[in-house]
Structure 1
Amino acid sequence: MEAINWIIIGVLFVIAFVGLVYPIIPSVLFIAAGFVLYGFLFSFEPFSWLFWSIQILFVILLFTADYAANLIGVKKYGGSKAGIWGSTIGLLVGPFVIPVLGILIGPFLGAVIAEVAVHRKNLKEAAKVGFGSVVGFVSSVVTKGIIQAIMIIYFFFVVL
């Protein structure tokens, strides 16, 4: 039975990493669910106030990294708030419209369409902003992946 419990916790952590490329999946909630499930199935004793404080700081860092990477990626390439919103919408819709490549095409097209529609930028300038949104998304995935891995490694350090 103990192995099944660990498998379920592991599946929650894997789903959190899937959420890196499918942003509709709330990664941090699956990580937290793994922690809480461990507490119910085994014990909450290893989780001190220090553990929860560090994990909360990592959650804040996750949200900050996600927002900052997209913002910096779009702004660095000449984008506006419209480009950021378009990129975000494209990021959420893209994977469902084009299953595999939509994760990269969605933010690109979202930013391009938003910049052309709202700020009347020419296609070349808008494509540059779209490229910036993809750069921001990829850097966000890498950064959040590292943070999530640290959160889970710290969890295992505390409970094992």
Structure 2
Amino acid sequence: MSAFRMYLRVVSESLQPEQISARLGTGPDEATAIGSRRRSQSPPRAHATWIRHVPAPAGPGRPEDLEPVILGWGPAFAAALGRLAASGDADVSLVVVQELTDPEDPQQKGIFLSPALLAWLAEAGASLDVDQYVYCDCDEQGDRDPCGSVSP
């Protein structure tokens, strides 16, 4: 399993997913509508979410391995996202999720984004959201645990 995954997220308080799709000229991999509920007892959502996943190619699935997928979506899609973001009708972000399970594995460390990807994100009017999660068993007997922090 890869330590990284990415997805493009569009959030709007005024547009439903179908309207976002129409403005972008393509549909999402998943979406939630304004007014929908997570569970029947949950309050209605105040915003719509439109998500396109970045599928991992064969290999480790590091951010630099996922970049060609995003760049392959092309400049026209980035421009459409940029127009949507500039309109104020939606916020666009690239979400990078990092799950660190082995602090000694160099494939799980670091996030590198190329100038080409940063230019694509700028054209898309997208922010970058990095979510990091560390899962490890800490050794409370030693001076340092496997995660690298000092034990009490």
TM-score higher than 0.5: no
Higher helix share: 1
Higher strand share: 2
TM-score (norm 1): 0.27
